[in-house]
Amino acid sequence: MADSILIIGAGVAGINCALNAAKYGAHVYLVDDTASIGGMMARLDKTFPTNDCSICIEAPQMYEVDNHPNIEILTNTEVRKVNKADGGFKVRLVRKARFVDEEKCTGCGACMEACPVTVPHEMDGKIGGTR
């Protein structure tokens, strides 16, 4: 789409870039290769040096970016190729299968309770957590 912006990485920096660009009328594609927006800050308990609650700061921004009409969030999505084209860029994205209909999922958690498989939790920073 012409006059649109692609932001790679939906952590706190990407989220704030997306909100600022969208505020000025740009159509924003916010891409992240993980299953959720929020990045590293969403995984932390507190921020340094103020000891503020991380998610208390980031959650309102995550909500705002998710509901902004000028921002399209593409999670589970990798940037495969970027080429210059017609004064802009042409980008090839690969969206990984989620195996869940995002429109219908209510987040009830019943599938997690029923699932017989345990794997390392990607969001746990490799400190031993499983899901």
| Residues lying near ligand SF4 in the complex (CB under 6 A) | 100, 105-111
- Tell me if residue 64 falls in helix, strand or coil: helix
Nearer to ligand SF4, 56 or 123 (CB): 123
Q: What is the DSSP letter of 55?
A: H
Cα four-point dihedral sign 34, 37, 39, 41:
negative
Question: Of the two residues 1 and 108, which places its CB atom closer to ligand SF4 in the complex?
Answer: 108
Least separation in angstroms between CB 106 and ligand SF4: 5
Cβ of residue 47: shortest distance to ligand SF4, in angstroms?
A: 29
Q: How far apart are CA 105 and CA 92, in angstroms?
A: 28
Q: How far is the CB of 101 from ligand SF4 (least distance, A)?
A: 8
Residue showing tokens 């509901």 = 67
> Minimum distance from CB of 98 to ligand SF4 (Å)?
10
For 26, counting Cβ atoms within 10 Å of its Cβ (0-12 exposed, 13-18 middle, 19+ buried), the class is middle
Closer to ligand SF4 by CB, 87 or 109: give it: 109
Specify the residue, 106 or 130, whose C-beta has the smaller distance to ligand SF4: 106
